Amino acid sequence: MSFSNIMDSNSYSPDHPVDPVTGSMIAARARMLGPAYRLFYDQPVNLVRGEGTRLYDIDGACFLDAYNNVACVGHCHPHVVEAASRQLATLNTHTRYLHRGIIDYSERLLATLPDKVDQVMYACTGSEVNDLALRVAAMHTGATGVVITRDAYHGNTATTTAISPSIGGATIAGPHVRIVAPPDSYRIPADELANRFTADVSAAIADLQSAGFGMSALIVDTIFSSDGIYPDPLVLAPAVAAVHRAGGMFIADEVQPGFARTGEAMWGFSRHGVLPDIVTMGKPMGNGLPIAAMAAQAGVLEAFANDIPYFNTFGGNPVTMAAAAAVLDVIEDDGLLDNAASVGGLLRAELTGMTEDHPRIGEVRGAGLYIGVEVVTESGAPDRTGAKSLVNAMRERRVLISVCGHDGSVLKIRPPLVFSRSDVDWFCTEFAAALASSF
Amino acid sequence: MSFSNIMDSNSYSPDHPVDPVTGSMIAARARMLGPAYRLFYDQPVNLVRGEGTRLYDIDGACFLDAYNNVACVGHCHPHVVEAASRQLATLNTHTRYLHRGIIDYSERLLATLPDKVDQVMYACTGSEVNDLALRVAAMHTGATGVVITRDAYHGNTATTTAISPSIGGATIAGPHVRIVAPPDSYRIPADELANRFTADVSAAIADLQSAGFGMSALIVDTIFSSDGIYPDPLVLAPAVAAVHRAGGMFIADEVQPGFARTGEAMWGFSRHGVLPDIVTMGKPMGNGLPIAAMAAQAGVLEAFANDIPYFNTFGGNPVTMAAAAAVLDVIEDDGLLDNAASVGGLLRAELTGMTEDHPRIGEVRGAGLYIGVEVVTESGAPDRTGAKSLVNAMRERRVLISVCGHDGSVLKIRPPLVFSRSDVDWFCTEFAAALASSF
């Protein structure tokens, strides 16, 4: 098998020598889980414990986690553990019975969203809610055409795989899908970003209309995670206006940027000054328990929800609602939005200062605690090999990051939101050493 | 809005008077969750605590749970609660890092399956794994045609909705889907069940082939849950042979019958003497935590898994694996397969004895703790209204069941596997009273 896609840029290759314990676990996975599974790093990590921004492997070695957004309030946060464990021991059923958990959480969640985004449905994964969002948009618009970015990732169901070219391999965008370039702030002048993106989206809409699919939805991750992390604000507004003029829906995929990650707002779309018709969210929502949600304007949801009963066995159950409520508690009580802004700003500033004159680091960019570092060749081209070397050098120094972007050449730095100033120091010390050893 | 489908047979209608607390919770759900959500019963239940086969409402009233298969080892089983809580407090990451949990559980799970079904992949919901199974079958066969039963339910993603006519509403089977009648043991003589089913499947295969879709897969819930619970064994074998002759795959959807439910075997397909190419499982797997799996023969999985990386953020994570392992512990240690057989047999025998001469009960059938009771009119036709009355009479008597089948006329009795002999007495006492009050 061979892939040349983003997902595999940081994958372990079977030809890489590892210690016997690691080797036997890799062999057991290959035998029982088959060839679709991937491990990170040339030397996969064998983790047994987590706490805050720290992860510990089987030998007791301590890693700094600068990658995992799912554990947004920190690994094994006691408030979340306690809330979920207590509910697990009390009751865990489904939404065909009444329960306060889903009602109370929905009040709180909807209060973080624009007033017009006033209804919410629950599922277990980002894939499920993006799949649902596409159906809701199609029912509302009577159209099926979808516009996505070049290296989008929106899920692993059949329907969301068709809008996720970043998966690579044999994955092919569906005939109803049009692909536009992301707002690549490294290669496109800032004052042209919005115009180019809008022009591309408008052309895609026209093409979908003339092909008979019609315009159903523009769906984007509002910080363009898999495309390479493009944080420039306000870029989306004119494109969304064009989508609305064509009768289409704007689906803000907040699975990665949502829940305070960007430091400037609870939701990534807010930074763009746009009002989504549908908002999807997942990964960090329950700090690791499987929970996801699709929020929508009631008028947009109506055609779908009136015609099709929807039941998700585990979606919105008391345990995941308790975990999700505890996550909101910590985000609010510990000021994690502000922390993402200030600590993320510090980390970007330190990395920028450290790499300003480095010929192989093209740019450090990001918002809050979502940071991309553009690794380039001496001639300025995307450097997949260099990025991979840096990621593995960081792993050897016990700091976990990964890569993203079309060429797998952008370092993806996306730590738990409780990342501290001393974590920044730790990260930067190791990054300086990794940089020195990699080029 | 109006539906005439199975899912809505036991749904609360907004015109039904309820107490003020219930009313305010219903109103809050309608306002925030929108019109796609449903509640069970004319008087919805407001549950706050569960233990074993008991559920308690906000007023402290105790209900006997004869419906919830998800809490298969009993609500809030301490061993499962403890295992999941301990892992929640220790580590919860994803499968791109090594972890013993997924390896150890996979060994145990695969040991319960036929030797040839030797690989497994993890997701969070039955919908996700059925969606994946269809893609795996399509990649292996190079065909897209799918054969399902008349009132099948296989999930809520776009792709699985297209093979789930029981959802009703505007749900329509896809053009690549052919529908066959389930082996209705109440209306078809026992010695004709397999022949008729096989003839229908063979005709569907021929039709898919001539329409150019080709034969990808026959997918059935191996106890035909939403079709009306048809437990006759060995019915599937000749149909599966026909599928294999046509180059198609047999997908055993074990989301409902799996994990010892039928009392005769860990998996429903075993009762039919067939070897599936793909097996999907979910609901009871983690006793309420979102976890699901697709097991497959390595040769069947190969084409998909070699070409398409698959990553599911929460699938196979340490917490859900710990819960799933604890569920297997309890099934094994407490002999729940035997319990399902013996207590299920007792319950069927008691219900049969009680209703033998009742003009409105056509049949009591089932396997293990999956029991269907056919409610009929005096002329023997399916009696949706009668079934609904019985379900609500049982709810008033604090015993929870629901309905299934094409006409919503089959009582669905599917309690936690820890249902005891005294639970059977309790159930039958209330059933006799409900029967007397309903007709």
Element (H, E) at A346: helix A336-355
pLDDT band at A4 (very low <50, low <70, confident <90, very high): very low
Q: Is the pLDDT of residue B5 over 80?
A: no
Please give the Cα distance from B126 to B294 (Å, whole number): 9
CB contact under 8 A, B125 and A124: yes
DSSP B286: G
- Percent pLDDT > 90 in chain A is 95
Output the pLDDT for position B7: 60
Q: DSSP readout, A186-242?
A: TTS-HHHHHHHHHHHHHHHHHHHHHTT--EEEEEEETT-TTTT----TTSSHHHHHH
Average pLDDT of the segment spanning B23-37 = 97
Domain segments of chain A as ranges: 6-73+335-438, 78-333
CB contact under 8 A, B99 and A47: yes
CA distance B84 to chain A (A): 8
pLDDT band at A5 (very low <50, low <70, confident <90, very high): low
Contacting residues of A for B22, CB less than 8 Å apart: 98
Strands, DSSP E only, in B173-286? 177-180, 215-221, 249-253, 278-281
Contacting residues of B for A73, CB less than 8 Å apart: none
CB B326 within 8 Å of CB B69: no
Please give the Cα distance from B107 to B122 (Å, whole number): 13
Output the pLDDT for position A9: 81
Over residues A124-172, the pLDDT tens digits come to 999 999 999 999 999 999 999 999 999 999 999 999 999 999 998 777 7
CA distance B413 to chain A (A): 16
Strand-pairing partners, residue A75, are A52
pLDDT band at A1 (very low <50, low <70, confident <90, very high): very low
CATH topology of domain B78-333: Aspartate Aminotransferase; domain 2 (3.40.640)
Please give the Cα distance from A268 to A255 (Å, whole number): 10
CB contact under 8 A, B319 and A288: yes
A145-149 and B399-400: which strand pairing? Answer: unpaired
Output the pLDDT for position B15: 84
CB B117 within 8 Å of CB B249: no
HSE, CB side, 13 Å, CA atoms: give it for residue A335.
6
Left (φ > 0), alpha (ψ -120 to 50) or beta: where does B21 sit?
Answer: alpha
Please give the Cα distance from B91 to B127 (Å, whole number): 26
Query: How many CB pairs (< 8 A) connect A and B?
Result: 342
Q: Which of A299-303, A330-334, B15-19, B96-100 has the lowest mean pLDDT?
A: B15-19
Mutation site for A-interface testing, chosen from B1, B96, B161, B402 by largest number of A Cβ within 10 Å: B96
DSSP A323: H
Q: Is the pLDDT of residue B4 over 50?
A: no
Average pLDDT of the segment spanning B33-53 = 97
Mutation site for B-interface testing, chosen from A19, A31, A32, A49 by largest number of B Cβ within 10 Å: A32
pLDDT band at A173 (very low <50, low <70, confident <90, very high): confident
CB contact under 8 A, B92 and A102: no
The 10 Å Cβ neighbour count of residue B36 is: 21
CA distance B412 to chain A (A): 15
Over residues A73-118, the pLDDT tens digits come to 999 999 999 999 999 999 999 999 999 999 999 999 999 999 999 9
Nearest to B314 among A32, A290, A310 (CB): A290
CA distance B216 to chain A (A): 15
Contacting residues of B for A63, CB less than 8 Å apart: none
CB contact under 8 A, B121 and A1: no
Average pLDDT of the segment spanning B114-133 = 98
Q: Is the pLDDT of residue B242 over 80?
A: yes
The tokens for A260 are 């305070």
Contacting residues of B for A47, CB less than 8 Å apart: 91, 93, 97-99
The tokens for A81 are 């553990």
Contacting residues of A for B304, CB less than 8 Å apart: 36
pLDDT band at B3 (very low <50, low <70, confident <90, very high): very low
| Residue A167: closest CA among A49, A5, A366 | A5
Please give the Cα distance from B230 to B371 (Å, whole number): 9
Output the pLDDT for position A150: 96
CB contact under 8 A, A1 and B125: no
HSE, CB side, 13 Å, CA atoms: give it for residue B417.
34
Please give the Cα distance from A51 to A65 (Å, whole number): 10
Q: Is the pLDDT of residue A2 over 80?
A: no
Over residues A337-364, the pLDDT tens digits come to 999 999 999 999 999 999 999 999 999 9
CA dihedral A90, A94, A95, A98 (to 10 degrees): -40
CB contact under 8 A, B94 and A70: yes
The tokens for B235 are 């019915």
Strand-pairing partners, residue B402, are B412
Output the pLDDT for position B170: 74
CA distances from A43 to A26, A67, B135, B389 (A): 11, 16, 31, 62
Strands, DSSP E only, in B376-424? 399-400, 402-404, 410-413
Average pLDDT of the segment spanning B320-329 = 98
| Residue B289: closest CA among B253, B267, B268, B318 | B318
| Residue B405: closest CA among B385, B382, B386 | B382
Over residues A176-225, the pLDDT tens digits come to 999 999 999 999 999 999 999 999 999 999 999 999 999 999 999 999 99
Left (φ > 0), alpha (ψ -120 to 50) or beta: where does B332 sit?
Answer: alpha
Over residues A378-430, the pLDDT tens digits come to 999 999 999 999 999 999 999 999 999 999 999 999 999 999 999 999 999 99
Burial of A353: CB neighbours in 10 Å, binned 0-12, 13-18, 19+: exposed
CB contact under 8 A, B96 and A126: no
Nearest to B128 among A22, A32, A128 (CB): A128
CA distances from A36 to A3, A17, A203, B7, B95 (A): 11, 20, 36, 35, 11
CB contact under 8 A, B46 and A8: no
What is the residue type of A115?
A: D
Check: CATH 3.90.1150.10 for A6-73+335-438? yes
CB A316 within 8 Å of CB A104: no
Mutation site for B-interface testing, chosen from A144, A157, A172, A395 by largest number of B Cβ within 10 Å: A157
Contacting residues of B for A95, CB less than 8 Å apart: 33, 37
Nearest to B309 among A3, A31, A103 (CB): A3
- Interface predicted TM-score (ipTM): 0.97
Q: How far is CA B180 from the centre of its chain?
A: 19
Average pLDDT of the segment spanning A46-68 = 98
CA distance A251 to chain B (A): 17
CA distance B37 to chain A (A): 6
CB contact under 8 A, A125 and B171: no
Q: DSSP readout, A110-174?
A: HHTS-TT--EEEEESSHHHHHHHHHHHHHHHHS--EEEEETT----SSHHHHTT-GGG-TT----
CB contact under 8 A, A81 and B85: yes
CB contact under 8 A, A131 and B304: no
pLDDT band at B44 (very low <50, low <70, confident <90, very high): very high
Output the pLDDT for position B6: 58
Q: Which residues contact A381 (CB under 8 A, 6 or more apart)?
A: none
CB contact under 8 A, B312 and A127: yes
Better-predicted residue by pLDDT, B63 or B169 = B63
